[in-house]
Amino acid sequence: MIKKLAVILCSVCLSGSVVAKTQAEFQTYLGDLKQEAIAKGYDSKLIDDAFATASYKEKVVSADKNQPEVKETLETYLPKRVPQWKIDRARKLYAQNKDVLEQVAKEFGVQARFIVALWGLESNFGTIQGGHNVISSLVTLAFDGRREALYKRQLWAALDILKSGHITLDKFKGSWAGAMGQTQFMPTSFNAYAVDYNNDGRKDIWTTKEDAFASIANYLKQEGWNDSLTWGRQVKLPDNFDSQYVLKRGTKTRKQWLEYWNNSERSLADWQALGVRKADGSDLPNVDVQAALVMPDDINGRMYLAYDNYKVFMHWNRSYYFATSVGYLSDRIGYPKI
């Protein structure tokens, strides 16, 4: 018993020493980051204030290294990601914010239902934004080292946001990975796409819905959104369909994924000739539109003819499940018409 207790106490001591060493190394790393920030021209007071709030967050590292690997299919994913209550709430909030949504939609050339769908899926319509200190999260993830360059870029972008006065330090909160606000933009995305739609001098994606709506629309438009198109449609394949026509899976980069997209893309008339039909078995629309055949799961799962706007969703988040869920929710928002 005494021996067992000694082993436990020794383990605790070792654990404590590891934590102490990590904290000491983190403080050294933080000092190096401060010097790098000064060299980049950031104001010393901004640096001191921002980094004074930074601390090593073990939970952030744990979340990054241990993201859930639950085996999903689109059949299990969609009902959880887009349940009926979320569809009902999306339609209700669309109606409540219809004037500003349709104004934003007109100005940016992005249908309002897609703005609401992204708003709902990213932050549950602004209600789930994350409570992590953004600076702490980014410094911790940079210190962890696996993707240091990525998170240092996000850190400098976060300092730019603070420097510009879009948010105060005490309210600078986000997800464990640093995604922020009702749009869940990473800092670099904020600097590229966020909009001060109500003209109050701040791009406030945290508390101002108008800014959040316009920022989502601006992202989509800048990345090539076509207001004359929808996103795609579920389709039915003929028996013994040749899988060479399906968009190839297993891509490592967006560039490679776009190459595979181009290999799959054909006109709707060509897909019709290959035996592809709407999900109900009827003919495809007789319109001059190009589409790629997307397979989120396998050849026996749901299949989609995806239009160019689907590529914009895949720029936002390169996940077939995510992109398809945005399209699915947008359809449920738009039809029947509100």
Long-range residue pairs from 201-205, CB within 8 A, at least 24 positions apart, any chain: 201/165, 202/165, 202/166, 202/167, 203/166, 204/166, 204/167, 205/180, 205/181
pLDDT value for 19? 53
CA separation for the pair 124, 251 (Å, rounded): 29
Q: How many CB atoms lie within 10 A of CB 45?
A: 8
Output b/e per residue, 6-37; b: 16+ Cβ within 10 A. eeeeeeeeeeeeeeeeeeeebeebbeebbeeb
pLDDT value for 249? 85
pLDDT in tens, 296-305: 999 989 999 9
pLDDT value for 250? 84
pLDDT in tens, 141-172: 999 878 899 999 999 999 999 999 999 999 99
Measured over the CA atoms of residue 122, residue 125, residue 131 and residue 135, the dihedral's sign is: positive
The C-alpha angle 67, 69, 71, rounded to 5 degrees, equals: 155
pLDDT value for 8? 45
pLDDT value for 69? 57
- Residue corresponding to tokens 């730019």: 160
CA separation for the pair 37, 29 (Å, rounded): 12
pLDDT in tens, 262-280: 999 999 999 999 999 999 9
Q: What is the mean pLDDT of residues 109-123?
A: 98
CA distances from 5 to 10, 14, 298 (A): 9, 14, 53
pLDDT value for 212? 98
Q: What is the mean pLDDT of the chain?
A: 92
pLDDT value for 15? 44
**Residues forming beta bridges with residue 133, ordered by sequence position:** 173
End-to-end CA distance of the chain: 71
pLDDT value for 68? 58
pLDDT value for 2? 52
Contact predicate 174/185, CB 8 Å:
no
Q: What are phi and psi of 311, to 5 degrees?
A: -65, -30
CA distances from 134 to 50, 60, 78, 159, 182 (A): 10, 11, 30, 10, 15
pLDDT in tens, 184-225: 999 999 999 999 999 999 999 999 999 999 999 999 999 999
pLDDT in tens, 14-42: 344 445 557 889 899 999 999 999 999 99
pLDDT value for 5? 45
pLDDT at 55 over 70: yes
Q: The pTM is what?
A: 0.91
Q: Is 228 helix (H, G, I), strand (E, B) or coil?
A: coil
